[in-house]
Structure 1
């Protein structure tokens, strides 16, 4: 009985951090900084390949790394037939991070897919963004980039269109849910990320909730036992998205917490792959 109970325990931060790293099929630099790089994982089947943009979490903080933890689910998704664009970006504690650097990195990496599409036979009409925790925020934000005000340094004339977002315990409302996120990530993390000390309206171009409707289908996935971003936060954001005209839903996974969502050996991850499959099929012509 004790062995069964132990196996059912939600995954811990240590479980997440200790995952073995998987080698990508290609690594592409989109800028000169060490963190301005993306890894591409490719399926063995012939293309054109639908694309998953993968954005890691870690409180936007340098110490939580990124690639070593997300390469396992990137490799798993490639095994399910997806090209996975696993994005690294400058995090707080690295030169050039915070506003606007972190956001510009994510934008440049995503738009840089256009330069790789022909070489790797990528189908950019079928793109789903998947992000965990802080990366869930960035995935939601990336899908909303077309609504960023023209006066913002984050504005882009022709951002790559993202058809759907699968946010894994992500934060969609930086303003309204900031205190929830602060508990595990630090009281000043979001303030530093959006530079609230020097900007009159720091959430207008950084918070997905301020940029609705995105036009993308949204699925907010949460573990029932997630104390970092509890399920009600996803419900609140999905409600706002639907009120703005987007298609949005919430998936709550029983017996899962924050890190079960990004470890490929968990039952939670198997459920998430099913959600990604469904959303990708909805983008098929």
Structure 2
């Protein structure tokens, strides 16, 4: 069942759908990558940064992001409608790996960058990630890029206080798509039709990206964390206990956390947003998304919020089928025109 923020609607019960299949990846030997000259590092500011300044949304807006190369590492799988690749790019000198779906055939395609949620980096394997949504998007003519964020293998390790490092990884990838469209693996990418998707922690990252970048037309959020970093800091202290990338967050002054919180900058968002959350989510409270939707409305952001009654943190069966349909309709309206 699903609920809308402004009204309730109970869908008719139907047969349990067959979930979209995830491709079986082809095990290939490590490919030899043609070396690409390192992307220029973002110049350091001439002034000395104040403590924590680099984590603020204001600073993320001031700095620049390199549009370096997107290197193909290897072909992972061949599907009827698309090819799946392992690719990599640079983010502030770190190599960030990604799984990329490219539709077969001619034509220029919109690009969807999807951002994963949190799991223990020591247990993370990008090739066992659920790509159900990304694969359906590729079948419908979208190029999808799913980066393995910093600190998750095989990507490099880097600073990630308040998930700002993750934000930077996505902002660099947006710039790569914009500047390298029409060349290499991005030959068929449309630089003016970029969308984001974010699941759980990735949804919180996407919210911050949207307050920084005006290059994104639309974004869908799947069981996202909060736009209030104070809530996220407390959440990750418990949920990701022992993960060094978040150590020190609770020591930051409140004003620092506020300056890193997307909710204080929602009025600057230009993208349209689709948000979906399960009312029975036992990981990230659904009330967080209710608050996000209310704040987005107050900020004048175009949004659609759906709450699935009975759904947990991950959607299944009818809820998942409905959400995928919502995503396709949403992106179709905002990217296909």
Q: Is the 8 A contact 2:150 2:158 kept in 1?
A: yes
Report the TM-score when normalising by structure 2: 0.64
Instruction: Show the counterpart of 2:47.
Output: none
State the alpha-carbon separation in 1 of the partners of residues 243 and 140 from structure 2: 35
Q: Is the 8 A contact 1:221 1:252 kept in 2?
A: yes
Of 270, 280, 285, which residue of structure 1 is paired with 2:321? 270
State the alpha-carbon separation in 2 of the partners of residues 106 and 233 from structure 1: 23
Instruction: Show the counterpart of 1:221.
Output: 276
Bigger radius of gyration: 2
State the alpha-carbon separation in 2 of the partners of residues 180 and 201 from structure 1: 16
| CA spacing shift, 1:126–1:274, aligned 2, 3 Å | farther
- Cα offset, 1:197, TM superposition: 2.7
Q: Is the 8 A contact 1:50 1:280 kept in 2?
A: no
Q: Is the 8 A contact 2:225 2:288 kept in 1?
A: yes
Of 288, 294, 304, which residue of structure 2 is paired with 1:249? 304
State the alpha-carbon separation in 2 of the partners of residues 104 and 91 from structure 1: 13
Of 221, 245, 249, which residue of structure 2 is paired with 1:167? 221
Instruction: Show the counterpart of 1:38.
Output: 98
Higher mean Cα deviation, 38-47 or 226-235?
38-47
- Cα offset, 1:187, TM superposition: 6.1
State the alpha-carbon separation in 1 of the partners of residues 117 and 325 from structure 2: 21
Tell me the secondary structure at the aligned position of residue 275 of structure 1.
helix
Deviations 1:111-132 (A, max 9, x none): 2112332122212332221111
Of 152, 171, 180, which residue of structure 2 is paired with 1:116? 180
Q: Is the 8 A contact 1:37 1:109 kept in 2?
A: no
Report the TM-score when normalising by structure 1: 0.74
Task: Provide structure 2 residue ranges, at least 5 long, that are not aligned to the other structure.
Answer: 1-14, 17-21, 26-75, 78-83
Task: Provide structure 1 residue ranges, at least 5 long, that are not aligned to the other structure.
Answer: 1-6, 9-17, 146-158
Paired positions, count: 252
Of 124, 127, 142, which residue of structure 2 is paired with 1:82? 142
Q: Is the 8 A contact 1:26 1:41 kept in 2?
A: no
Q: Is the 8 A contact 1:58 1:66 kept in 2?
A: no
CA RMSD, 1 decimal: 3.4
Q: Is the 8 A contact 1:222 1:231 kept in 2?
A: yes
Instruction: Show the counterpart of 1:155.
Output: none
Instruction: Show the counterpart of 1:136.
Output: 203
State the alpha-carbon separation in 1 of the partners of residues 105 and 214 from structure 2: 24
| CA spacing shift, 1:89–1:191, aligned 2, 3 Å | closer
Deviations 1:214-268 (A, max 9, x none): 122122211232111232211110100110111223212244321236xxxx433
| CA spacing shift, 1:143–1:92, aligned 2, 3 Å | same
Q: Which has the higher strand share?
A: 2
| CA spacing shift, 1:201–1:183, aligned 2, 3 Å | closer
| CA spacing shift, 1:269–1:117, aligned 2, 3 Å | farther
Of 69, 94, 98, which residue of structure 1 is paired with 2:160? 98
1:232 counterpart = 2:287: yes
- Cα offset, 1:30, TM superposition: 2.1
| CA spacing shift, 1:176–1:236, aligned 2, 3 Å | farther
